[in-house]
Amino acid sequence: MVSTQSEAADIRQMSKSWWLFLCTGILWFIIALVVLRMNDRSITTVGVIMGIVFIVGALSEFLMMGADSTGWKIFHGLLGVLFVLAGIWAFVQPEEAFWALASVLGFLLLMMGLFEILAAVATKDVNPLWWLGLVAGILFLILAFWTSQQLVPVKGQLLLFYVGLMAMFRGLSQIVFAFGLHHAGKEAAKLA
């Protein structure tokens, strides 16, 4: 019974921050609404999001540099500096950052498709739904080749649509997680 009470106390403690996930979910929905309007603000929003991603990537690389005890420290440091520079560029010129991303969208979709296919094949023995990853990977490859043949404005529209949908799904998952965490905290309080 002690482990159950200790687990319940941990769950209650974690559930106190359920509102934070609710707020981030709502923020993701606002981002999705702005991006899916497909106007100049959408382009700027995606450029700023790219800047945030680059800065978070830089922080991650600098943390890896501190944790790495091998010769890769220099690589992590250089990559962190490049990410910081890319983040600053994306914040200063978000529209240019967006169009740069749109111009390489076909390549990114190709990499995503290959990754999905490889992950599906690698987990075939342990994942009974491995074929869904295979189908998704093939669809990403088809989309990559179609996108590569399009003009940059069409790639931009596809990128806005993709980012908008991902933001909407991320917001939905954050809100569902928030209420699940809140409910788990209430259930844990009943055990105590």
**Confidence at residue 37, expressed as pLDDT on a 0 to 100 scale:** 87
CB atoms within 10 A of CB 61: 20
**Confidence at residue 3, expressed as pLDDT on a 0 to 100 scale:** 53
Burial class (CB in 10 A: 0-12, 13-18, 19+), 64: middle
pLDDT (tens, 9 = 90+) of the chain, 192 residues, equals 345 777 877 888 888 889 999 999 999 999 999 888 888 889 999 999 999 999 999 999 999 888 877 778 888 899 999 999 999 999 999 999 998 888 888 888 899 999 999 999 999 999 888 899 899 999 989 988 888 887 878 888 888 888 888 889 988 999 999 999 898 888 888 876
Q: What is the pLDDT of residues 11-26, one digit of tens each?
A: 888 888 899 999 999 9
CB atoms within 10 A of CB 45: 24
**Confidence at residue 1, expressed as pLDDT on a 0 to 100 scale:** 39
d(CA 191, CA 8): 7
**Confidence at residue 2, expressed as pLDDT on a 0 to 100 scale:** 41
